[in-house]
Amino acid sequence: MKSIVIDQPGGPASLKWREKPDLQPAPGLLTIDVAYAGVGYFEVLLSRGEFATDFPMPLTPGLEVSGYVRAIGEGVEGFYIGQPVAAMTLLDFNGFATMANVRPELTVPLDQLGAELDLATAAASIVNLTTAYLAIKDVYRLRAGDDVLVHAAVGGLGGFLGQVARRLGAGKVLGTVGNQEKAKLAASFGYDELFVRTDFVEQTLKATGQKGVHAVFDPVGGSMRQQSLEVLRPLGQLVVVGNASGEQDVTHSFNQIWFSNKQAAGFALGGYAVSNPVETGRAAREALSMLARKEIHAEIHGVYPMEQAGEALALLEQGSTVGKLVLQV
């Protein structure tokens, strides 16, 4: 087998394509032949060594894959050899490879969704779509008619947050983007309006008649966190779902949150999946079923050979992409 390896921090250019011994079936796991692997901004941060204390190098990045079941480990039931599947490898970091051992609880049989879903779309979607689905449905617990704001609104995660919010009954769905060109994509991602993030506070308040929104979903971090509290209604909730900016964490007074009647919550799919793998897998099946039934769509910016993983990460690092990038084996 072959896999991408990061031996030491160096950004996207540090990714190496390397041969390894084939994986062998392991008790409690599935072995799959990988067809596609999703590429996210988390891999960019990994390549820079920004999580070195949690994920020491050398490592093989990759949080999500699709492919076909190659072998079934002892004790695993409900799968068959050759079955098309999508899997979250976010607990094992082995997705950028031609083979992967995956956890059955975090693996979705694609032939059991009730409608066809191709392998490239499944690999591009399973992590971000599951994150969006759980963040909106179970963390924030969206009520019909709630107005929401999403940062990085046409990125891999943001593109799903807007669509899922719309599908689950949100009122106004607003978002922020990095430039005016991306703002033109509002309708295709389920947004009523998209604002350039530099003046989103003023624009959000204007769009809501100065009332603000019921929820803000923030995968960006940094100063956006602090400003997001300004556009929340009383009892509104800021849901932190990432830190793509890589900026230093911000602090906030809990007394100020108390006095202003606002809330803050965090959701990280990896940490949730460790303690709740069955619930995570169930949410992934429900979310991918929505995608298969075309109730929402996945925006794929481009498909690249696995050997060009470094080039794909460099595009993400530049902030020039819309939707998701995918590697093909």
Which three-class secondary structure state does DSSP give residue 304?
Answer: strand
Cis peptide before 58 (omega within 30 of 0): yes
CA distance 223 to 221: 6
Asked if 99 and 329 touch (Cβ cutoff 8 Å), the reply is no
pLDDT digits (tens, 9 = 90+) for 3-29: 999 999 999 999 999 999 999 889 999
Note the CATH number of domain 2-126+273-328.
Answer: 3.90.180.10
Fold agreement (2-126+273-328, 131-269): no
Whether residue 134 has pLDDT greater than 80: yes
CA distance 188 to 95: 29
Q: What is the average pLDDT across 176-196?
A: 89
pLDDT digits (tens, 9 = 90+) for 248-279: 788 888 888 899 999 999 999 999 999 999 99
Which three-class secondary structure state does DSSP give residue 58?
Answer: coil
CA distance 314 to 327: 13
Query: Is residue 188 very low, low, confident or very high in pLDDT (cuts 50, 70, 90)?
Result: confident
Q: What is the average pLDDT across 298-320?
A: 91
Ranges of each domain in the chain: 2-126+273-328, 131-269
Is CATH 3.40.50.720 what the domain over 131-269 is classified as, yes or no?
A: yes
